[in-house]
Amino acid sequence: MFRTTVRQFIQKEFAPQQARWRQQHGPDADAWTRAGGAGILLTDVPDAYGGGGGTFAYEAVVLEELARAGVHFGSSIQSIVAHYILAYATEEQKHHWLPRMARGELVGAIAMSEPAAGSDLQGIQTTARRDGQCYVINGSKTFVTNGSHASIICLAVKTDPKVAGLKGLSLIIVETKDLPGYRVGGSLDKIGMHAQDTCELFFDDVRVPAANLLGPTEGKGFSQMMERLPYERLTVGVTAVATAERAVAITTKYVKERTAFGKPLLEFQNTRFKLAECKTEAHIGRVFLDSCIERFIAGQLDDVTAAMAKYWLTDCQCRLVDECLQLHGGYGYMMEYPIGRMWADSRVQRIYAGTNEIMKELISWSL
Q: Closer to ligand FAD by CB, 137 or 266: give it.
A: 137
Tell me the closest approach of the beta carbon of residue 82 to ligand FAD, in angstroms: 14
* Measured distance CA(201)–CA(193) in Å, rounded: 19
Which positions touch ligand FAD (CB under 6 A)? 77, 110-113, 118-120, 143-145, 190, 193, 198, 348, 351-352, 355, 357-358, 361
Tell me the closest approach of the beta carbon of residue 243 to ligand FAD, in angstroms: 15
Which one is catalytic: 232, 257, 281, 357? 232
Q: Closer to ligand FAD by CB, 295 or 319: give it.
A: 319
Are 219 and 149 within 8 A, CB to CB? no
* Measured distance CA(67)–CA(236) in Å, rounded: 11
Cβ partners under 8 Å of residue 143, min gap 6: 113, 118, 188, 198, 200, 352
Tell me the closest approach of the beta carbon of residue 252 to ligand FAD, in angstroms: 29
* Measured distance CA(218)–CA(214) in Å, rounded: 8
Tell me the closest approach of the beta carbon of residue 235 to ligand FAD, in angstroms: 12
**Residue of minimal CB distance from ligand FAD?**
118
Tell me the closest approach of the beta carbon of residue 353 to ligand FAD, in angstroms: 6
Are 332 and 339 within 8 A, CB to CB? yes
Q: Closer to ligand FAD by CB, 87 or 249: give it.
A: 87
Q: Closer to ligand FAD by CB, 105 or 361: give it.
A: 361
Are 191 and 347 within 8 A, CB to CB? yes
- φ/ψ of 148, rounded to 5, equals -70, -30
Burial 326-351 (b: 16+ CB within 10 A, else e): bbbeeebeeeebbbbbbbbbbbbbbe
* Measured distance CA(79)–CA(232) in Å, rounded: 9
* Measured distance CA(168)–CA(316) in Å, rounded: 36
* Known active-site residue 232: yes
Tell me the closest approach of the beta carbon of residue 28 to ligand FAD, in angstroms: 20
Paired sense of beta strands 263-264 and 152-158, if any: unpaired
Q: Closer to ligand FAD by CB, 118 or 264: give it.
A: 118
Tell me the closest approach of the beta carbon of residue 7 to ligand FAD, in angstroms: 26
Q: Closer to ligand FAD by CB, 125 or 326: give it.
A: 125
Establish how many alpha carbons lie within 13 A of residue 260's alpha carbon, considering only the half-sphere containing its beta carbon. 10
Cα 76 from chain centroid? 5
* Measured distance CA(344)–CA(189) in Å, rounded: 13
Q: Closer to ligand FAD by CB, 248 or 321: give it.
A: 321
Helices within the chain (DSSP H only): 2-9, 18-23, 31-38, 56-68, 75-88, 91-102, 221-257, 269-297, 303-327, 338-346, 356-364
Are 90 and 268 within 8 A, CB to CB? no
Which positions are annotated as active-site residues? 232
